[in-house]
């Protein structure tokens, strides 16, 4: 879509191209559906996704509901295990072990956070790496670190953000500077690895970085994942940069009425959009890609299990 123009301060301001995450996610899902149907026809293998949720956290149930619904829509065998809040570590571990042993299940997802009495790390690490569609197993993190994208599975949110980068800049990022603000194991580190594997020159910045604005200004591709509302201002953004905003923050919105809130990213969107060439919005940017890439990982895992070449996303 072309950059839109809007009148401001009596002059025309050229705004960045805004990436429609829902539209890109829908195209990923179309690929997943086609690949799922083809695998079933060629090999008689139906991709299978098992989702485990413990307790009654409403936000977690909403997430899991949408994941299970999307899995059915993609043509997967979709299994949901809803466990009571008092489930023990041993019972949860036994369920994961039984799903590991089930050849009809290609992806296993444990919805986080777990109730406080459960230790999530040993549970996540007990999932077979080839069924770890969340990409959180240390084996998958290690494969990404050594550049093995052929046999590992990549964490869904950075994988989704990388789809935007590739659609904007192509497969080869040689000569481009990328800055990732945030160093979490969930997003920052895997995102940096993906950019590095695509030949970008990568800087990982974070709260301890000296003169963070000037580091950000060096970026042709700026990825913000710090969890601080609208921290990245327009003067942090290099003119013509691609800005990927991974933050989801809820802030007070008195203009909507008393007690109302709204979602914003880690980037001050309106001002940054006047400087950037391409930018993702919040909501509607990276968010929709996370579930889409979970489905992509599941169909990739099913292809590998059947000895078939998985689709590319």
Beta strand pairing status for 5-8 and 11-14? antiparallel
Residue of 111, 131, 220, 245 marked active site: 111
pLDDT along the chain (313 residues), means of 10: 44 79 98 98 97 94 94 97 97 98 98 96 98 97 95 97 98 98 96 98 96 98 96 97 97 90 96 97 96 98 97 95
Q: Sort 207 into a burial class: Cβ within 10 Å, 0-12 / 13-18 / 19+.
A: exposed
Residue of 132, 134, 220, 266 marked active site: 134
Residue 235: active-site member: no
Residue of 67, 131, 143, 238 marked active site: 67
Same fold for the domain at 43-140 and the one at 155-289? Answer: yes
Residue 134: active-site member: yes
The residue extents of the domains of the chain are: 43-140, 155-289
8 Å CB contact between 127 and 140: no
Q: What is the CA radius of gyration of the chain?
A: 20
Q: Quote the CATH superfamily of domain 155-289.
A: NAD(P)-binding Rossmann-like Domain (3.40.50.720)
Q: Which of 51, 46, 99 is nearest to 77 (CA)?
A: 46
Residue 42: active-site member: no
pLDDT score, position 13: 64
Cis ω before 83 (30° cut-off from 0)? no
Both tokens of 38, joined, read: 């083809």
pLDDT score, position 9: 46
pLDDT score, position 207: 87
Residues near 165 by beta carbon (within 8 Å), at least 6 away in sequence: 173, 195, 198, 221, 242, 244
pLDDT score, position 3: 46
**From CA 108, how far away is CA 86, in angstroms rounded?**
21
- Fold for 43-140, please state it: Rossmann fold (3.40.50)
**From CA 111, how far away is CA 118, in angstroms rounded?**
12
């Amino acid at each position: 879509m072309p950059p839109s123009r809007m009148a401001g301060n009596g002059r025309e301001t050229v705004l960045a191209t805004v990436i429609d995450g829902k539209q890109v996610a829908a195209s990923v899902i179309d690929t997943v559906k086609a690949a799922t149907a083809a695998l079933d026809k060629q090999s008689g293998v139906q991709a299978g996704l098992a989702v485990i949720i413990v307790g009654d956290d409403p936000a977690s149930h909403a997430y899991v509901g949408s994941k299970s619904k999307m899995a059915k829509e993609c043509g997967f065998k979709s299994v949901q295990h809803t466990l009571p809040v008092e489930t023990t570590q041993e019972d949860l571990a036994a369920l994961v072990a039984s799903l590991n042993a089930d050849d009809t299940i290609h992806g296993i997802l444990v919805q986080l956070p777990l109730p406080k009495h459960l230790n999530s790390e040993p549970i996540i690490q007990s999932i077979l790496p080839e069924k770890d569609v969340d990409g959180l197993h240390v084996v998958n993190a290690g494969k990404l670190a050594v550049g093995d994208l052929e046999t590992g599975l990549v964490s869904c949110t950075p994988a989704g953000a990388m789809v935007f980068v590739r659609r904007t800049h192509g497969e080869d990022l040689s000569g481009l500077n990328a800055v990732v603000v945030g160093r979490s194991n969930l997003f920052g580190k895997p995102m940096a690895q993906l950019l590095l594997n695509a030949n970008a020159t990568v800087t990982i910045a974070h709260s301890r970085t000296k003169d963070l604005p000037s580091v950000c200004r060096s970026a042709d591709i700026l990825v913000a994942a710090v969890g601080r509302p609208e921290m990245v201002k327009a003067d942090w953004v290099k003119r013509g940069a691609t800005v990927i905003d991974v933050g989801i923050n809820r802030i007070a919105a008195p203009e909507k009425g008393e007690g109302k809130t709204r979602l914003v990213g880690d980037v001050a969107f309106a001002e940054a959009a006047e400087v950037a060439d391409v930018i993702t919005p919040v909501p509607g940017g990276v968010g929709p890609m996370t579930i889409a890439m979970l489905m992509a990982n599941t169909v990739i895992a099913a292809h590998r299990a059947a000895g078939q070449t998985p689709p590319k996303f």
